[in-house]
Amino acid sequence: MAYRILITMDDLEAAVRLNAAFEAAGFETSMVSAQDDAKAAVLRDDPDLVLLTGGLHEPAAARLLALVRDGRVATLGLLEPTEADPAAVTHRMGLTAAIAKPADPSDTVALCRRLIERKQLQERTGILGDHPAIQEVLIKIEQMAPVSSTVLIEGESGTGKELVARAIHELSPRRARPFIAVNCAALPETLLESELFGHEKGSFTDAVERRLGRFEIADTGTILLDEVGEMPPATQVKLLRVLEEREFFRVGGASPIKVDVRVVAATNRSLREAMATGDIRSDLYYRLNVLAIYLPPLRERRSDIPLLVRRFIHEFSKLHDRPFRGIEPAALQILVDSPWPGNVRQLRNLVESMVVLAPTSEIRPEDIPREIREPGRERLLPVRVPGMAREVAGQELTYIVQSLLDLRLQVEDLRRRLEDHPQRVEVIEVPHEAPDAEVVVSPSGMASRAGEGQLRPPRGRDAVVYEAGMSMADVERATIEAALAETRGNRRKAAEMLGIGERTLYRKLKEYEAEGGSISSLT
Ligand SMILES: Nc1ncnc2c1ncn2[C@@H]1O[C@H](COP(=O)(O)OP(=O)(O)OP(=O)(O)O)[C@@H](O)[C@H]1O
Ligand SMILES: [Mg+2]
């Protein structure tokens, strides 16, 4: 099917010249002037690409871009030769690309074809972003998909490694065959080996029957070895054999099994460094690193944040059936400036929570959680254990340590119960040597990693004091009380602080009421 191009007539001479070139190349074209109804034109022509021939800084151009931005439509701007920096204009206006005039017709046609095909690839794979680093990733995916060579994908957590691995599989001739992901860090050595290679009946105590490994299940398809940098040394030797010989033995098996599996490995630590520290064998490193893709952290491609935010708002407002206008510029600015240690995953989860929780149909700065709005002020609800400042010895110390361990188990239980929510509560540290020690309960997720292992001073009014004999329910109730005190009774904010749904909070408050007594700080 012919690609459709909508050309603006701001620079009539360029528009006419390029229009002829596009028609000659088999594109369907239409033209729109600044006076025309751009919305009607976009709806009528349903273009694959909008080409702005001039007037990029005029309101009409901004209106036209707002109509097609963030969708499957590519946009190309032609800049005056005096315009210094095409990349800056691209970024500021949210264009897919910009080039300086005079635009060579055949180069422009070729560029537009590439931009359209790249956009279609992005729609198909879900990998969003106009940043050159992401465009480079897409080019690599296109190049690497057709072959069967091993691919190593490196990038921090949440940068899209699994998304890219799936895209490689989806674009490959193996697409109709299985795609199997195995997390190499999640299992101890023996289980991982039986997971990857299968086992024969009776090969170990629990092996009551023969089991196929993931490599066998993935035969003729693709296997994703996630967190490959964490693979135990003995398993590395076996993996190396698969990569070299394309065969392996089931655990307890005597005959080799041949497979045709494409291996994609992912890691959120540098595999070269893992090799330097001896965690990964060098022969395995070179076997895995045949083709490599690096996914940059989100903070290194901030120009993609507006696009990601708008797409996620669109996606989640549809999913949760909440009509949503979008985001205020000041709020978007805060998101653009944030460090995003959890990368796209963290941004996506945050947008989902804001779409669900924002009281108006537009995200405002005050709807953004405080630790994003005011970096450095982390959300902490410290639990202080009284008596720790005193000299403690013998039995008393044993008792306190025991209480701390119990408390840790209880809080972990709470964390499990909140697990359906992306921002969980987890005990970061249960210190038992330091005087003045306290148990810190803090939101988990990447945002709190920086504070991991540190002690925090209790924050006065909202400190939760743990006393021996308190049950989990008591700790939970005290924590909720502290959160409500902190937010002056604002339940929505309190729920957000605690990382639980507002409804869960309501239910718990109802339970407390039913038990007799209500929470004092509620207004
Ligand atoms: N470029 C992107 N465009 C759209 N969504 C993205 C992009 N990158 C990541 N995501 C989304 O972010 C989330 C995390 O992505 P993914 O699971 O692929 O990350 P990862 O690098 O494998 O993380 P981890 O190392 O923690 O396993 C997913 O919901 C994914 O859809
Ligand atoms: Mg992953």
Which ligand has an atom closest to residue 344 CA? 1
Q: Is the CB of 267 under 6 A from ligand 1?
A: no
pLDDT value at position 435?
A: 33
What's the length of the chain? 523
Q: Is the CB of 163 under 6 A from ligand 1?
A: yes
Please name the amino acid found at residue 184.
Answer: C
pLDDT value at position 444?
A: 34
pLDDT value at position 415?
A: 63
Please name the amino acid found at residue 512.
Answer: Y
What is the rounded CA–CA span in Å between residue 244 and residue 101?
Answer: 52
- pLDDT grade for 213, boundaries at 50, 70 and 90: very high
Average pLDDT of the chain is: 82
Q: Which two tokens stand for residue 271?
A: 């595999």
State which ligand 1 atom lies nearest to the alpha carbon of 134. Answer: 1
Q: Is the CB of 268 under 6 A from ligand 1?
A: yes
State which ligand 1 atom lies nearest to the alpha carbon of 268. Answer: 25
pLDDT value at position 441?
A: 38
pLDDT single digits (tens) 125-155: 999 998 889 989 999 999 999 999 999 999 9
Res. 436: pLDDT tops 90: no
Q: Is the CB of 348 under 6 A from ligand 1?
A: yes
State which ligand 1 atom lies nearest to the alpha carbon of 160. Answer: 18
Neighbours of 363 (CB within 10 A): 25
From 348, 349, 444, give the residue whose CB has the most ligand 1 atoms within 8 Å, as the site to mutate: 348
From 128, 137, 152, 162, give the residue whose CB has the most ligand 1 atoms within 8 Å, as the site to mutate: 162
Bridge partners (DSSP) listed for residue 100: 79
pLDDT single digits (tens) 489-521: 888 888 888 878 788 888 888 888 777 666 655
Percentage of the chain exceeding pLDDT 90: 51
Percentage of the chain exceeding pLDDT 70: 80
Q: Is the CB of 127 under 6 A from ligand 1?
A: yes
State which ligand 1 atom lies nearest to the alpha carbon of 163. Answer: 18
pTM: 0.69
Q: Who's near 161: CB < 8 A, 6+ residues apart?
A: 153, 154, 155, 226, 266, 268, 295
Output the residue whose Cα is nearest ligand 1's atom 16.
Answer: 160
Which is nearest to 155 in space by CA: 311, 345, 287? 345
Q: Residue 143, exposed/middle/buried by CB under 10 A (0-12, 13-18, 19+)?
A: exposed
Q: Is the CB of 350 under 6 A from ligand 1?
A: no
List C-alpha distances in Å: 368 to 59, 103, 152.
29, 43, 36
What are 316-320's contacts with CB under 8 Å, separation 24+? 316/351, 316/352, 316/355, 316/356, 317/355, 320/355, 320/356
Which ligand has an atom closest to residue 131 CA? 1
Task: Say what angle helices 233-245 and 189-197 make with each other, to 10 degrees.
Answer: 20
Neighbours of 54 (CB within 10 A): 21
Q: Is the CB of 157 under 6 A from ligand 1?
A: yes
Output the residue whose Cα is nearest ligand 1's atom 27.
Answer: 157
Q: Which two tokens stand for residue 222?
A: 């693709």
pLDDT value at position 132?
A: 86
What is the rounded CA–CA span in Å between residue 171 and residue 389?
Answer: 62
CA dihedral 485, 487, 488, 493 (to 10 degrees): -120
pLDDT single digits (tens) 295-325: 999 999 998 898 899 999 999 999 999 888 8
pLDDT value at position 93?
A: 80
What is the rounded CA–CA span in Å between residue 197 and residue 332?
Answer: 47
Output the residue whose Cα is nearest ligand 1's atom 28.
Answer: 345
pLDDT value at position 402?
A: 56
pLDDT single digits (tens) 311-363: 999 999 999 998 888 999 999 999 999 999 999 999 999 999 999 888 898 99
What is the rounded CA–CA span in Å between residue 399 and residue 394?
Answer: 9
Res. 207: pLDDT tops 90: no
pLDDT single digits (tens) 247-264: 999 999 989 999 999 999
Output the residue whose Cα is nearest ligand 1's atom 8.
Answer: 160
From 230, 345, 353, give the residue whose CB has the most ligand 1 atoms within 8 Å, as the site to mutate: 345
Beta strands 4-8 and 49-52, pairing class: parallel
Q: Is the CB of 126 under 6 A from ligand 1?
A: yes
pLDDT value at position 399?
A: 58
Res. 379: pLDDT tops 50: no
State which ligand 1 atom lies nearest to the alpha carbon of 159. Answer: 21
Which ligand has an atom closest to residue 157 CA? 1
Ligand 2 centroid to residue 160 C-alpha, Å: 7
pLDDT value at position 513?
A: 78
What is the rounded CA–CA span in Å between residue 341 and residue 334?
Answer: 15
